[in-house]
Every structure is written in structure tokens, then in C-alpha cells.
Amino acid sequence: MTVNGTDIASNRPVLASGSTTRAQMLARAGVEIDQQPADLDESAIISSLTAPPDPLGVDDVALVLAQAKAESVSQHHPGRLVIGCDQTLELQGELFQKAATMEAARHNLLRMSGKTHLLHSAVVIAADGNMSWSHVETASMTMRDLSPEFIGRYLAQAGAGVLSSVGVYQLEGLGAQLFEKIEGDYFTILGLPLLPLLAELRHRGVIAS
């Protein structure tokens, strides 16, 4: 099968994400994948999931988004396993979304300064349009008190790349300077609960056990 001019190997899982970080995590763990981002209106889905009177919890939003991505892409790859992922950020019960501008990023960091937020990372496996496995993990992230001057310097040095992260940071880089304490799995913080996923892929015989 060919997708967007790329030959697709029928025995490899498909990652329903355009994330370079997630693809590299899997590759470094020895999992060969093909990659096809899901074509979904995430903002519309989030709006519907969080609307009153019964909004979903922030962790459940991550799971539903991961499921929607996996099931959408799996419809185009009969018989293949498709991996869907998503991550949401929760601050004092509120769902944060990615900052669209550097000014919005500055505002978000000021709000998170000195507080603990939660990162909910969900991963789903789907086949033939239906979810067959899912897992959600949460990491607790406590930011130190950040001065407006430090935030300004941090954003200037880190650059617009931080806008790709819901928390306005990349922990593997300058983002580490923002934190006082971290509790949780490193891979979960990066956006993919890798160890449970590897265990499931071994169980299914996709990778060697």
C-alpha cells in the first residue's frame, strides 16, 4: 500500500501522529513504524467534550482524543495495528490548550508558576476502526516560582518551538529549568506511556518478548 507517495509495510504498526518526538521514542526502543497523522479537528472535539452540563475529566479528554486518532487512521489500514496518542494538561481542574502565540505562552507560564499541574498521556491501539487497548498515565509537575523577567529570557532562548508543547516546555531541553519537582514517568511527560505500550506490543507478538 502507498500513502502520500510512501510505501507502507503491512506488518508495521502505524503511528497516528505527526509527532517527531513520539516517532523517535518508538524508533529508539526498536519499534519499526509507519507514520500517518490523523486528520481531525481537535479543537472542535475538545469543545464538545468539555461543554456543560457534563464535561469530561481532563484525563478522559486525552483518552478520547487518542482513541479518535487511532480509529480514524485505522479505517484506512485494514488489518494493521494503529497507535494513537494524546496528552492534556490540567491546572487546578482546568484543561489547558496549546498557546498559539508567544504572548499566550508567557501568560500560561505566569499562571503555572509556583503551582503543580498534571500531564495526562493516553495511548490507544486500534484495528479495523475499533479500539482494542488503551492506557492513560499521569505525571505531576511542580514549577518553581518564575519571575516575569526569567520567563521572558526563557521564551526568547527557547524560541517558538515551545508552542508545540501544551505546557510551553520541552523537559529534555531548557524546560528542565522551570521545575522544582517532578513525579511521574519520563516517557509519559514526553507524551507517550512507552513502557505499557511496549508490553502490549510484546503480548501481541509485534516485537520480541
112 CB burial (10 A radius; 0-12, 13-18, 19+): buried
Three-state DSSP at 171 gives: coil
Spatial distance between the Cα atoms of 179 and 90, rounded to a whole number of angstroms: 16
Annotated catalytic residue: which of 34, 39, 86, 128? 86
The secondary structure of residue 57, as a DSSP letter, is P
**The dihedral sign for the CA sequence 7, 24, 193, 54:** negative
Determine whether 39 is an active site residue.
no
Strands (E), 92-209: 94-96, 116-127, 130-143, 179-183
Residues designated catalytic:
86
